[in-house]
Structure 1
Amino acid sequence: MKLTLLNLTLLLTSTYGYVTNNVKFTETTTKLPVDNISEESANKKTSVNVNESIKNRSNYIYLEDVLVGLKLQNWTEEEMPCLNQTLVLIRSLQNFTLWAVWEWDSVSSQPLGILSGNRYQLGNFDQCMNPPWLKTHPEVQSQYCLAEVSLERTDNAKKRRLDDIKPYENALDFIQHHTPNYRPLSYLTWGACVPAVCQPRSVERLVSAVLARSHLGAAGLRPRIAVSEPCQQRNSSREFDGVFYAFIAVMVVLAIVCLICTIITARKRENDNSLSLDICKAFCLKENSKDLLRMQKEGIEVIYGIRYLTICFIVMCHQAGMLNSGPISNGIGVDKELALSPFAVFLLHDDVFVDTFFVISGFLMAKTITSYKRLPNIFVLALKRYIRLVVALAVVIFYVCAIFPYTGSGPLWERFKTGETGACRANWWANLLMLSNYVNTDNVCIVVSWYIPCDFHLFVLSCITYALYKRWRYLGLAIASVLSIASIIAPGVVNYVNNLSAVQLFTFDFVADPRANEQFQLAYIKTHTRAAAYIIGFFAGSYFNTHKLKKDVMLSKKRALVGVCAAVVIMLLVMVSGTSYLWRNYSPTEGALYAALNRPVWAVGLVMLILCCSFGKVPLLKSFLSWYPWVPLSRLAYGLYLVHTVLIIRNVGIARNPVYYDNLSVFMSSLSVIALGTFYAYIIWLLAEAPINNLFMLLVKRRKVPLKPSAPDNFVESQPGTSCAKTGNTNTGYLHDNIKENLNISSKM
């Protein structure tokens, strides 16, 4: 009997839709349009069986709780249209009206999988944004909003450390527990499909009412909700701006010019050496493609393989990190695997792969500049280097500003688009002036582009130091010694003074927002903290150029093998010891010492590998790294480095729902990024990089400036025939010069 009376009381209470005097703008009871529906239902209930009403009440008790929760909140007068439309939505949902079910069905009514690290509760974005009646019934139009939710305990219990997770402990302790190596479980990103009239503050109230009726609210977790991004509506126009049309026009013009020049060059006369024909050759697609196939045989062919394999490793690491920072369903499992598995060695301290490029860049720069009998104008060298680096960078920045915003959609797309395009439109000038690693580092355009100004600064500094060495030998040696010592000490001092981690570990906190990371801004991207590897590479290149023709430095097979094995062990020790700082305690002094030495030691190991392969015979490894297909691929590594993060960000930004993270899926998706990124790098090379570099070299040639050996690139050494002159002692050749003679290649292949 008591149960029946209780159910009747609840039924009568739920059939009246009033907002009580909790509303801020009035003290009287306000009657809503939806209440008319309730009163009509109440007038007819005499003909309805009481037991059937109780059954219906039990079916909709969740919706009634949400309804009561909405009415009890303090709604302002401006928010009343949103409240009225939401109440109509809930009543229509109870009647199972299609438009209401469609909208409510696209929202997660309960958070799922948060204990396993599923932070993103995105619902169904496409269902919310694309109802069938979008154009015919605007009165029921919806919008998609993202709300950031922070869960706080209401029982005032102290946070305690969980050393051992047991099944019978309080789940609130588990949710509130956070270590630096694991992602926090008390933060959610909630996707809400709400009426189009709702403002951000109203959306916060709606999400709060839904979460309060979930198992989290019942457990004593109070959500703090913020909607800081504009909501997405299907009728929002995506108009193309002037930057979009400018990029399309520039690329179309470049493509047309290259095609015309290719046709003109194909019809040229052999004895024609006119300026107009030279300009056409600079844009010729055939000539520029052939330059990618030219191989310089100077004893360091292993650099081709090292360069491209390194960029492939970097792409895989970035793919793993960016995917990990996005919507995944097993975040805690991934964090645990990265902290404890052997695979973590190659992910958490993968930043030393970039030091490989510093070593190669310094090595090639020294090999080239020490070949000059008379040092050219340093300004011309620096300008050539700048043009070589900035052309591809400018194209990618232009793309991010103009085209990238229109390449995707999704619940997180506006966030990713604003982060990347907004940063590039605001700070593109810092990148082009080679200042992006010191200016506005918290909003840098293209995060990985920090490497480019570092390389340029070190190139210019090396040119100046070497020029002083050629003019005043002892002064040059003194400056080089000071710079070398300072390059090793500086990272340790910066880490110690700012109390930073011993190494930049790619944990969730870092990959989620690298621009906001303190260590990234203070130590990771600065030229003075990354110079050691470049300087070691410079010394190695000078040594190689001096001794490459001397037989007394040739190594036996045994010594070369021992040297290669020692080099590999040294580099592995650097990676393993760096990863160990993730889970063990250490003193600030030890951390500063490791920060100072880990990159130089890695560089020494890599230099040993290159020199042992160059001066000795290392079976299999030397042949593999010198494999001819690495030649064109390695020359496209610079373009791949620039474009790969744009592709990865796009793939993560269009995610509709969390995916399961596993190493095999990361590997396969990385291969697709590498393949597509290499193709885009080839297009950039043909249409922009090669033509502009060729035009500059043509200008230098006309001015008769002695630039016999070309200044090297960070990823791609300069091309013989177009961007540098041929030397008599250099064995170079194209594809047909670098295949085995017994291979019969048919023209029909």
Structure 2
Amino acid sequence: MGALWIWLAVVAMGDAALLSDEEYYQMPKLFQLDDYDECLARPGGAFCVGSFELAGRTNTHLMHLITQYTDNRYHFNRSRIHRGLCVTTTCAHIDHALLPRRFEACVDNITRSHGLEAHLYHLDYCETAQSPPRMPIDEVDLGFLGLVMVILAANVIGTVYDLLRNPDNKPNRLLMPWSLRVNWNRLTASYEDGDPRLNHLNPVHGMKCMTLIFVMLAHSVIVYHMAYIYNPQFLEIASQNPMSTILHNGSVIVQTFITLSSFLLAYNLLLHLENKQGSALKLFPKVVFQRIARITPVHMFVVGVAATWWRFASSGPLWSMVEGESARCRAKWWAQALYIHNFVKADDKCLLQTWFLAVDMQLYIAVALLTLSLARRRALAERALAALLLLSVAANFLVAYMWNLKPILYVTYPELMRHQYTGEPSFNWLYTAPWGSLPASLLGLYAAFVYYRLQKDGVKLDEKLWYRLTYRLAIVGIPTWIMAGYVIQRATSRPAVALYAALDRPVFALIIVICMIGFFYRIDAPIWRLLTWRGWQVLSRMSLSILMVHWGFNLTQMAIKTTLSRASIYEIGGHWFTTIFMTYLTSLPLHLLVELPLQRFLQALFTR
């Protein structure tokens, strides 16, 4: 968690503007926000929010400075300003019958004091106290509310049945999944009496939880770029500081989930098949179904909440941020359900973090097929997977080079973050595309076969000096590889950028694999104890709910603001900690009342 404090504590060392203070403050403010509640409380009060493009009128020198400033990729686009104004007070001197026209004329009039003109680029909304809701309650909202009531009723019925049933009789397999008592026990169980080989994997719990904590940090920073900020230069300064690489390049840690997902699937299948006869491929439909039953219920439930009742949770001048996301979820719910939303209208993002679920499902199916195909041919498996890994890296190099795609480090800049990378091909066709994460997935699969062989052969890597040294270098290599991006990003030639795009994730995934296997062998007892802390096991089992819920709290905290937000160490840190607390608090009932019961109910309904 100290990454945030390290990053933000040194931001003052940068130079935000490369302009003098006098020149910097000649530019129109990037954001302006009037008092929303006071405005609508006035008789006839009207409030408008929108973005405006600037153009030179008489002060061409200032417009040149703005253009020059904006050309720096670490800066916001200062030729596009954002305003939320009380039209009836701030624009009282403008006479137009139509609110949008009055709003545009007002901002243009104010901007003339800078010798510039402003044209409405995008209107978020104009409203009065008497305006009807922009998105009123409809049959979809009521239908989803009915579904929630059914789920709650099922939990009540299942729990009462479990408490009152005769323990000597065989339980009803369709009612028991809905028992809150049973699901609580499943969440908190230690499972220490299971296969000891699986107990060696307990560090996975800590790895998943810590990765999610840093994901929530990254998303806290992103939403600050999306908000109306009092001091945007703070974020511009921070973007140029070397320590910001931890955040700009830190998104590569998501590959930890991809690697773990493939490893756990393949290793569990290898254990399951070691005493089984017949074709392993017969298991493929069951494996895919179990994954769908595992992810889809909570995934679609949260998408349903986002598409319906989320937009009624609050209001305010910036609440259109939530309303826009809600509208996108309503339009793309079917793509979310099919796990193709990273391809369908990729710029229309419904819950930013769910790109991972699409990629994970797509790769999970491929990994399951490969594992089942190679499980009986383990002598061939490692060579075949190594070849596929090299081919996937080479393919990503060709894709990045031919389409001029860049790794996330090269596109994580203020203006792109403000718009959730909308219109950026590298984000859509490399970062959130399955082929971009394929090498990490294959590395996890390869590691499962290697680790299974080592276990079968009784090899004790913890007694090998060469591996202990490699493991400790890999521990240091995690932050080192991330920070190396600060130097690497200076390479701008197309082949060099494509090469880094192809190697960035596989190298990080390889480091994670080396560390992970070292954890399993307990090379360092303190790290083992840290990663296997009992609390991580509980939080890890809720990781899907945590992943699904946290972005809603990230965005809501900024959307409920009624004044300009101040970006600073304490504000961003407080936002992060609030997100963590609220996410954990709400993920517990979501896991117990929705995720676990629906998952087990579907399995009971369709499998024996």
TM over 0.5: yes
Structure 1 regions of 5+ residues with no counterpart? 1-111, 135-140, 159-169, 703-749
Structure 2 regions of 5+ residues with no counterpart? 1-22, 89-95, 193-198
**Equivalent of 1:395 in 274, 278, 301:** 301
Counterpart of 1:367, as a letter, is Y
Q: Is the 8 A contact 1:324 1:661 kept in 2?
A: no
Matched, 1:313 2:214: yes
Q: 1:222 to 1:675 in 2, by over 3 A?
A: same
The Cα offsets for residues 150-186 of structure 1, whole Å up to 9 and x where unpaired, read as 222235858xxxxxxxxxxx79625642211111223
Matched, 1:382 2:288: yes
Q: 1:649 to 1:427 in 2, by over 3 A?
A: same
Aligned to 1:303: 204
Q: Secondary structure at the match of 1:228?
A: strand
Counterpart of 1:245, as a letter, is L
Aligned to 2:319: 413
In 1, Cα distance between the equivalents of 2:250 and 2:359? 18
Matched, 1:192 2:98: no
CA RMSD between the two structures: 2.6
Counterpart of 1:177, as a letter, is Y
Matched, 1:562 2:454: no
In 2, Cα distance between the equivalents of 1:605 and 1:617? 15
Q: Is the 8 A contact 1:465 1:476 kept in 2?
A: no
Mapping 1:471-510, distance limit 5 Å: 480-504=385-409, 505-510=411-416
Aligned to 2:269: 369
Q: Structure 1 residue 564: deviation in Å?
A: 3.6
The Cα offsets for residues 342-380 of structure 1, whole Å up to 9 and x where unpaired, read as 2x1221112111101001111101111111233352112
**Equivalent of 1:124 in 25, 30, 35:** 35
Aligned to 2:127: 232
The Cα offsets for residues 681-714 of structure 1, whole Å up to 9 and x where unpaired, read as 2222222211122123324553xxxxxxxxxxxx
Counterpart of 1:148, as a letter, is S
Counterpart of 1:255, as a letter, is L
**Equivalent of 2:256 in 330, 351, 356:** 356
Aligned to 1:465: 370
Q: Structure 1 residue 579: deviation in Å?
A: 3.3
In 2, Cα distance between the equivalents of 1:496 and 1:577? 21
Q: 1:155 to 1:143 in 2, by over 3 A?
A: closer
**Equivalent of 2:102 in 189, 199, 202:** 202
Counterpart of 1:228, as a letter, is L
Matched, 1:153 2:56: yes
**Equivalent of 1:453 in 358, 368, 381:** 358
Matched, 1:684 2:590: yes
Aligned to 1:59: none
Q: Is the 8 A contact 2:310 2:326 kept in 1?
A: yes
Q: Secondary structure at the match of 2:84?
A: strand
The Cα offsets for residues 431-485 of structure 1, whole Å up to 9 and x where unpaired, read as 1011111222121322221111211111111222223324677886776455322
In 2, Cα distance between the equivalents of 1:693 and 1:321? 32
In 1, Cα distance between the equivalents of 2:74 and 2:423? 17
In 2, Cα distance between the equivalents of 1:485 and 1:518? 24
Q: Structure 1 residue 404: deviation in Å?
A: 1.2
The Cα offsets for residues 573-613 of structure 1, whole Å up to 9 and x where unpaired, read as 3211223355x243111111111111111111111111112
Matched, 1:267 2:168: no
Matched, 1:334 2:235: yes
Q: Structure 1 residue 623: deviation in Å?
A: 0.7
**Equivalent of 2:480 in 569, 573, 579:** 573
Q: Is the 8 A contact 1:555 1:615 kept in 2?
A: yes
Counterpart of 1:353, as a letter, is I
Normalised TM-score (structure 1): 0.71
Q: Secondary structure at the match of 2:128?
A: coil
Range with bigger deviation, 440-449 or 195-204: 195-204
Residue identity (%): 21
Q: Structure 1 residue 115: deviation in Å?
A: 6.5
The Cα offsets for residues 269-319 of structure 1, whole Å up to 9 and x where unpaired, read as 222114x3x222210111111111223552121111110010000001110
Q: Is the 8 A contact 2:407 2:431 kept in 1?
A: no
Q: Structure 1 residue 142: deviation in Å?
A: 2.2
Q: 1:418 to 1:668 in 2, by over 3 A?
A: closer
In 2, Cα distance between the equivalents of 1:560 and 1:117? 58
Q: Structure 1 residue 642: deviation in Å?
A: 1.1
Q: 1:473 to 1:258 in 2, by over 3 A?
A: same
Q: 1:116 to 1:682 in 2, by over 3 A?
A: farther
Counterpart of 1:263, as a letter, is V
Q: Structure 1 residue 637: deviation in Å?
A: 1.4
Q: How many residues align?
A: 562
**Equivalent of 2:69 in 171, 177, 180:** 177
Matched, 1:634 2:535: no
Where relative contact order (Cα < 8 A, 6+ residues apart) is larger, the structure is 2
Q: 1:684 to 1:116 in 2, by over 3 A?
A: farther
Aligned to 1:437: 342
In 1, Cα distance between the equivalents of 2:346 and 2:148? 29
Q: Is the 8 A contact 1:115 1:185 kept in 2?
A: no
Q: 1:676 to 1:560 in 2, by over 3 A?
A: farther
Q: Is the 8 A contact 1:571 1:601 kept in 2?
A: no
Aligned to 1:70: none
Q: 1:661 to 1:206 in 2, by over 3 A?
A: closer
**Equivalent of 2:149 in 252, 262, 268:** 252
In 1, Cα distance between the equivalents of 2:205 and 2:313? 33
Q: Is the 8 A contact 1:325 1:511 kept in 2?
A: yes
In 2, Cα distance between the equivalents of 1:259 and 1:471? 46
Range with bigger deviation, 597-606 or 544-553: 544-553
In 2, Cα distance between the equivalents of 1:526 and 1:539? 21
Q: Structure 1 residue 543: deviation in Å?
A: 2.2
Q: Is the 8 A contact 2:430 2:436 kept in 1?
A: yes
Greater Rg by CA = 1
Q: Is the 8 A contact 1:451 1:525 kept in 2?
A: yes
Q: 1:227 to 1:130 in 2, by over 3 A?
A: farther
Aligned to 2:501: 595
In 2, Cα distance between the equivalents of 1:697 and 1:192? 54
Counterpart of 2:31, as a letter, is Y
Counterpart of 2:296, as a letter, is V
